[in-house]
Amino acid sequence: MTVKLFEPYKLKNVTLKNRIVMSPMCMYSCYKEDGKVTDWHYTHYTARAVGQVGLIILEATAVTPQGRISPQDLGIWSDDHIEGLTNLVGMLKEHGAAAGIQIAHAGRKAELDQEIIAPSAIAFNEKMKTPKEMTLADIKDTIEAFKQAAVRAKKAGFDVIELHGAHGYLINEFLSPLSNHRNDEYGGSLENRYRFLKEVIDAVKTVWDGPLLVRVSANDYHPEGLNIDDYVQMCGWMKEQDVDLIDVSSGALVPARINVYPGYQVKYAEAIKHESNIDTGAVGLITSAKHAEEILQNERADLIIIARELLRDPYWPRTAAKELGVEIKAPVQYERGWNI
Ligand SMILES: Cc1cc2nc3c(=O)[nH]c(=O)nc-3n(C[C@H](O)[C@H](O)[C@H](O)COP(=O)(O)O)c2cc1C
């Protein structure tokens, strides 16, 4: 058997050395609340690059201060953020990892001491703030903020940009009828609710010709919400807009109970891959190499995206290689202790 997990994968002009991706995970570690990279980020991300992860996608990084989930979020809303991000990208590449960044706006899920904005003035739950309904000018400004974030990501040397369209944050809020009650061209039909994401993709593409990923929540887990059929349709539109890959997550648009089990979102990655005819990444409770290999060999997804298991084991690629009985290259400094 040829092991697929360690086969290279081409994303436009970028070749990943394997199919293992570090999932974006907020670290809430900008202690000065300025959105700038801190020592924690250098240590945390570089450790996974040393551990031989193929693509590292930085945590949700805010395109405006108002779009942060918390005051400690990483940011890319100003040119002052470029220096730290450039240094970090350099460190990741030094260890052979490709560098990605998830650019994001929290919308109604921002927990900040300031006004927050969303497609409609509907709070996520009774504990959270009611957002201000975005005006057309707010929409235009936010699309521009995503575009400027892409300009800065390019300057910092990132290989990949991922748009955060999942987990009930701003883009996701536009897509779902549960959070979008607008009467203008950004609300109503699925096409109209997709318009904000469509315009964000188009705007980013005017300044970014590298690989573009979109993370989606393929199920709202609510009878009146979006389901996989809606996402198959929208991911087809993303394919037409030349998005390279869909990172397929689910939930968190509204409070809902989700039945989680190993690979619980893989079926959505599989449906989108085959029905929307676009490459996908599978994420969610994938912790063993054999499980990852099964997903790839059965062509259920093209990349394996790992979050919490990489917190527990920064060298998960090495652990996975051992589980699959193959040897992978070690950082030269570690060669004497790696493949034994
Ligand atoms: C600490 C932590 C922070 C997270 N932050 C983000 C984030 O910034 N963006 C995102 O899309 N998902 C985020 N997630 C979700 C993960 O990327 C992933 O989709 C989820 O944990 C399921 O994968 P797993 O079972 O491998 O952990 C976060 C998860 C954790 C545990």
Question: Helix/strand/coil (H, E, C) string of the chain?
Answer: CCCCCCCCEEECCEEECCCEEECCCCCCCCCCCCCCCCHHHHHHHHHHHHCCCCEEEEEEEECCHHHCCCCCCEECCCHHHHHHHHHHHHHHHHCCCEEEEEEECCHHHCCCCCCCEECCCCCCCCCCCCCEECCHHHHHHHHHHHHHHHHHHHHHCCCEEEEEECCCCHHHHHHCCCCCCCCCCCCCCHHHHHHHHHHHHHHHHCCCCCCEEEEEECCCCCCCCCCHHHHHHHHHHHHHCCCCEEEEECCCCCCCCCCCCCCCCHHHHHHHHHHCCCEEEEECCCCCHHHHHHHHHCCCCCEEEECHHHHHCCCHHHHHHHHHCCCCCCCHHHHHHHCC
Q: Is 22 in the pocket of ligand 1 (CB under 6 A)?
A: no
Asked if 182 contacts 138 with a C-beta cutoff of 8 angstroms, the reply is no
pLDDT at 236: 98
In this prediction, residues 8-33 reach a mean pLDDT of: 98
> What is the residue-averaged pLDDT of the chain?
98
User: Looking at residue 42, what is its pLDDT?
Assistant: 98
How far is the centre of ligand 1, averaged over its atoms, from the C-alpha of 200 (Å)?
22
* Confidence at residue 340, expressed as pLDDT on a 0 to 100 scale: 81
23 lines ligand 1 (CB under 6 A): yes
State the closest ligand 1 atom to the C-alpha of 215, by its place in the atom list counted from 1.
Answer: 11
pLDDT score at 214:
99
166 carries a ligand binding annotation: yes
Tens digits of per-residue pLDDT, 151-192? Answer: 999 999 999 999 999 999 999 999 999 999 999 999 999 999
pLDDT computed for residue 2 by the predictor:
87
Residue with tokens 């450039």, as numbered in its chain: 86
Least Cα distance to 169 among 127, 214, 209 occurs for 214
26 alpha carbon to ligand 1 midpoint, in Å? 7
pLDDT digits (tens, 9 = 90+) for 266-311: 999 999 999 999 999 999 999 999 999 999 999 999 999 999 999 9
Percent of the chain exceeding pLDDT 70 equals 100
Q: Return the pLDDT at 103.
A: 98
Provide mean pLDDT across the span 317-339.
Answer: 95
CB 236 within 8 A of CB 280: no
pLDDT of residue 1: 73
Q: What is the pLDDT of residue 38?
A: 98
**70, 31 Cβ separation under 8 angstroms:** no
- 315, pLDDT greater than 80: yes
Q: Say what angle helices 228-240 and 190-205 make with each other, to 10 degrees.
A: 40
**How far does the centroid of ligand 1 lie from the alpha carbon of residue 24, in Å?**
6
**Smallest CA separation from ligand 1 atom 3, residue:** 25
> Is residue 27 within 6 Å of ligand 1 at its C-beta?
no
| Residue bearing tokens 């990279």 | 37
The pLDDT tens digits for 40-70 are 999 999 999 999 999 999 999 999 999 999 9
pLDDT of residue 332: 94
Q: CB burial class (10 A; 0-12, 13-18, 19+) of residue 126?
A: exposed
Report pLDDT for 195: 98
pLDDT tens digits, 110-162? 999 999 999 999 999 999 999 999 999 999 999 999 999 999 999 999 999 99
Residue 18's pLDDT band, with cuts at 50, 70 and 90, is very high
CATH 3.60.15.10 matches 18-339: no
pLDDT exceeds 90 at position 339: no
